[in-house]
Amino acid sequence: MKDVRKFIVFTLKNQSYGVDVSQVHSIERLQKVTEVPRTASFIKGVIYLRGNTIPVIDLRERLWIGQTDTTDESRFLIVEIKGMQVGLLVDAANEVLDIGAEAIEPPPEMIAGVEARYLEGVAKLKDELLILLDLEHILDMEEVQEVKQAIN
């Protein structure tokens, strides 16, 4: 098969999501988060990881699909976009999947409550749909700034 991409698969609200493995730096267990006051509510705060402070965001809140109650399964998915590391709080991180380019379809306008602008596409697997996230958009600074200004 040609054009096979690897995706890290994780769960949010019992739905599987995927992000390109090349964008994922590491997967970390939860640790104490230091809140950063007066930032967007989906920004949970910062954590310390190998010499750096890394902002962490609640991915559910970012995608406007609720809030995360952390469990033992919860993980921080540390992703890197444009040289910027951000931790995504997810319900669980499951596996790495090879997905052929032909299995990826453009996203519908809304799926599982998530708007298309946050999505790269949808991959049909044997028994379920994998929603592929567009991290660049999700971590887009301009939108973050807008949210912040709305708060202040």
Partner 1 sequence: MDTNDYIEIFLDESNEHLQAVNDQLLKLEKQSDDLSIVNEIFRSAHTLKGMAATMGYEDIASLTHNMENVLDKIRNSSLHVTTEVIDVTFAAVEALEEMVESIAGGNEGKKDVRDLIARLEAIENGKQPEEEVPVAAKATTQENLELDEYQLTVLDQAKEQGFEAYQMEVALDEGCILKAARAYMVVEAVEQHGEIIKTSPPVEELEAGEVDRFSLIVLTKSPAAEVKQSVHNVSEVESAEISPYVTVKEEAVLATEEIAATKEEAPTEAKQESHKAVTSKTIRVNLERIDDLMNLFEEVVIDRSRLEDLASEIKNEALQDTVEHMSRVSEDMQSLILTMRMVPVEQVFNRFPRMVRGLAKDLNKNLELEIIGADTELDRTVIDEIGDPLVHLIRNSIDHGIESPEQRKKAGKAEKGSLILRAFHSGNHVFIEMEDDGAGINREKVAAKAIENGVLTEAQLEKLTDQEVNELILASGFSTAETVSDISGRGVGLDVVKNKIESLGGKLSIESTQGKGSKFSIQLPLTLSILSTLLVDVSKEIYAIPLSSIIETLMIDEKEIMDAHGQRVIDFRGNIIPIVSLRKVFNIEETETNNSTDQAIVVVKKGNKLTGILVDSFIGQKEVVLKALGAYLKDVFAISGATILGDGRVALILDPNALVK
Q: Select 48 or 64, whichever has its Cβ closest to partner 1.
A: 48
In angstroms, give the least distance from the CB of 123 to partner 1: 28
- CB nearer partner 1, residue 16 or residue 39: 39
- Token pair for residue 48? 């310390």
* Length of the chain in terms of residues written: 152
CB 32 to partner 1: min, Å: 6
Q: Smallest gap, in angstroms, from Cβ of residue 121 to partner 1? A: 25
Angstrom distances, CA of residue 23 to CA of 1, 58, 99, 126, 150: 22, 18, 16, 25, 29
Nearer to partner 1 (CB atom), residue 11 or residue 26: 26
CB 44 within 8 A of CB 32: no
Under the rule (CB under 8 A), what is the footprint of partner 1? 31-32, 34-39, 43, 45-48, 50-55, 83-86, 139, 141, 144, 152
Helix (H), strand (E) at residue 12: strand 4-12
Report the C-alpha gap between 109 and 80 in whole angstroms. Answer: 26
How far apart are the C-alpha atoms of 78 and 110, rounded to whole Å? 26
The least distance separating partner 1 from the CB of residue 104, rounded to whole angstroms, comes to: 27
> Between residues 70 and 100, which has the closer beta carbon with respect to partner 1?
70
